[in-house]
Amino acid sequence: MSMLCPRCVKASLFQIVHRKFSAASANYSQEKRRVVVTGLGVVSPVGCSVPRAWKNVLSGVSAIGKLTDVAYEKLPCRVAAQINRDELDVENHFGKSELKTMARATAFALIAAKEALGMAQWTPPEEDIEACQRTGVAIGMGMVDLMDVCETNEALKRGYNRVSPFFVPRILPNMPAGQLSIKYGFRGPNHSVSTACATGAHSIGDAFRFVQRGDADVMVCGGAEACISPLGIAGFCRLRALSTSFNEDPERASRPFDDARDGFVMGEGSATFVLEELNHAKARKAKIIGEVLGYGLSGDASHLTAPREDGTGAMLAMERALKDASISPSDVGYINAHATSTPIGDAIEARSIRTLFKNNWKQLGVSSTKGAHGHLLGAAGNLEGLFTILACRDGKMPPTINLENISTEMQGMNFVANDAQDWLPVDGKRRVALKNSFGFGGTNASLCFAEYRE
């Protein structure tokens, strides 16, 4: 009896799944396809695995600390949420030659994607051409590595030959997506957006539509960011966007919706989703974590850095996500807010929620997890989206920590202050949530997630 090699067996299994999937979906092409989440991965200040990050966020742990390097001494803000190097050292994951080709954010994205693909059990071999061609990537990055730019500029002063041939690839925002596609041989859509702090949410939303409309059966999506540096901190300080009042008490610096909030705290990391067409996931007996129901986008058309005062930009994004999901505001039980801990932004978002959910805002849970992990900029929407989908799955709303005194104009709302809350389904309905993300330039995104049910 002849023995089959493991790679041939694996390729055959993937081909069988695709044949079953094609047969199951033959009459489905005219409808919007259901899109589910089958994998998650994370590299974040609160943890570098999904179980650890979720546990810490639910526990109200703060990962914000002091910036102790001498280069930060004279800056107004000297706090940030950084990856714990005792938990994750990128040099343990890549060889020296590999690290020369990638920015730190790209490394974060590849590590998070590895966890997500492992959870989804989706790594088709190169021999399965169809599976590879029907799997795509959508990973965004908000800002390039400013330290890389500064150091390369200094190298150029010493001579042209000191400039790395990988400098340009390292700073291109689409390289996390490119590197991931190359590593795993994914030849479906290779997509990247860079929409400031809405990048991660836009990446997931775009990937959702690629799967929903048949451009791919599987999408690996999310965002990555690693721009904590003296120049980055200085630039945001000049915008008066960062917290400056808690340099000696960093764990209290990020405080969404609190009366003493004075700016956001920069964070770094990546979070990755594996999105999959429902029939495709069921054909291969994948474990389903949750479902993406809708996606809404809008523009403020108002100001470079401040949200529109009347909150209509945020409202339009949420309203369009609900419309795309074919649900009403009364179906939503939880909103993971963008709320970054800025005086203006948090108040406007709260106002927009109260206006849109005028009949049920008192029954809503609204929280921002940024008090725990800071603001990951281009990786904010995807990291917080990960916590939102887990909230739907587990029936736990993560807390808004450091919330001691709710501002007067926001009184009466349930901001899940300081402690996680149980989220019980109402009338047997499945749990449905929104995740908001807003970016400089007036770009807004809202994702609608839900507990998966047949």
Q: Is 132 a catalytic site residue? A: no
Give the 3-state secondary structure of the chain.
Answer: CCCCCHHHHHHHHHHHHHHHHHHHCCCCCCCCCCEEEEEEEEEECCECCHHHHHHHHHHCCCCCEECCCHHHCCCCCCEEECCCCCCCCHHHCCCHHHHCCCCHHHHHHHHHHHHHHHHHCCCCCCCCHHHHHCEEEEEEECCCCHHHHHHHHHHHHHCHHHCCCCHHHHHCCCHHHHHHHHHHCCCCCEECCCCHHHHHHHHHHHHHHHHHCCCCCEEEEEEEECCCCHHHHHHHHHCCCECCCCCCCHHHCCCCCECCCCCECEECEEEEEEEEEHHHHHHCCCCCCEEEEEEEEEECCCCCCCCCCCCHHHHHHHHHHHHHHCCCHHHCCEEECCCCCCHHHHHHHHHHHHHHCCCCHHHCEEECCHHHHCECHHHHHHHHHHHHHHHHHHCEECCECCCCCECHHHCCCECCECCCEECCCCCCCCCEEEEEEEECCCEEEEEEEECCCC
Q: Is 18 a catalytic site residue? A: no
- The whole-angstrom distance between residue 243's C-alpha and the CA centroid of its chain comes to 22
Residue of 77, 197, 227, 392 with catalytic role? 197
Give the separation between CA 385 and CA 389, rounded to whole angstroms. 6
Give the separation between CA 379 and CA 131, rounded to whole angstroms. 27
Residue of 338, 373, 392, 448 with catalytic role? 338
Q: Is 221 a catalytic site residue? A: no
Place of tokens 């389904």: 425
Residue of 18, 375, 392, 448 with catalytic role? 375
Q: Report the catalytic residues.
A: 197, 338, 375
